[in-house]
Structure 1
């Protein structure tokens, strides 16, 4: 199959940027105003977002939840989170969007940070006012750096991003009462497992093979995944490959059979059943949008 550039859009507009080291920052009001302050339900495959709400109010709609946004807060939305907004016209704040792969690359030696942030989080400003103020300053500095062409721009952006997400992680830890540790043995195994999945994306391995690479049993690997992520090892693998399939469906011209075979599904019909079971749509319907 021919290689194709994989491009992504934020809100359905023409896809004009590429992964894996994607980073974008803008004011919340800039994007919201274009959509008359009502952004329909959508999700971003492979993209992670940090929202900084400073003033105004609105509602966040998640798949099965409606959340009122009436106080200054930080909102974390991990990749593939179905969400939408209805916001007041006086809303003020910033939104940072970046690729999930970029986060995991930056925090390769501190996997507890992307793991902790891999969930929907609401961090109220008043719960840690000093850190909220620092995060506000960091995201403003990052935004300024993004819009200017200065020497060593990539280095500075990565430094700001590392500081920003580390401060968000610390704020989460302070509010939730979790200790800032270097991660448990289970977390280390889980992150090594996820890294192995990414590296062996084609072809897939069996759970027994993944476990053997970690020098543990498949039963132990399942126990770790349930403890850390609330999923079985098979579900973790399945989720990754379904996201890969979505990427191909949206951003390449590969046939459904070609996508199935490239991801090591030997039967395209089985691939289609699995895909529909996870996403609620057949691959063909998903591609049509």
Structure 2
């Protein structure tokens, strides 16, 4: 009798409560307990993205790191955009290079349109073009009182999560050939907003709507635009934007009773970028641990 390879999704990865912890924004992956699994030791590619050039924002850690690793092992060269987490970025770049692919690192703040344009230009100059754009970087803060959301924080949240997606897509589209793909990271919060994340949730609703509009606008160029809507995912965003008590219980509210590890998101991003998804555009792929998006 053959050995089963099935794993129980409820217990495949660590289950809360986690050690209480807090970091300054934007957080460092290496300092988290437990350290997120981004597929470093598990993701095996099969050539689905051979020869493609990908730009991934927030690619230093969390979901972006998992996507960078998966893309490289599927045969793509990668540009990783990140804020200032140089240690995490260098670690991810080394894994990409160990897979035999080129990796370009670009640090800076994607709130600014000129920086978004510079990211795309670096990809064109150093990788030879852009075939995949993953708009993944995000900012959030959690507050229990509406009055605690400042105008500055609201603007930062929208500029990072929504404006940057628009700026990067606008800059990349002229360099993308038919068959290219834009993939945005939305959230379960677009459909089921968490009251303590009201600003972040609003941006994710806007981002999901933006995905649908861009899909229609770019269809005439043969460029596909989709989004992934994760549920709770164990990334540096969590201990750096939530209090230690809340972070320790993160993810226990979903049917699987735990947060996803970034590695569990990678396959969705690979699929949307591959030829297997050639008729998918304007879609949302939910990865939510059992929470239905209706």
Q: What TM-score, normalized to structure 1?
A: 0.26
TM-score by length of 2: 0.26
Higher RCO, Cα 8 Å, sep 6+: 2
**More strand by percentage:** 1
| Higher CA-based Rg | 1
More helix by share: 1
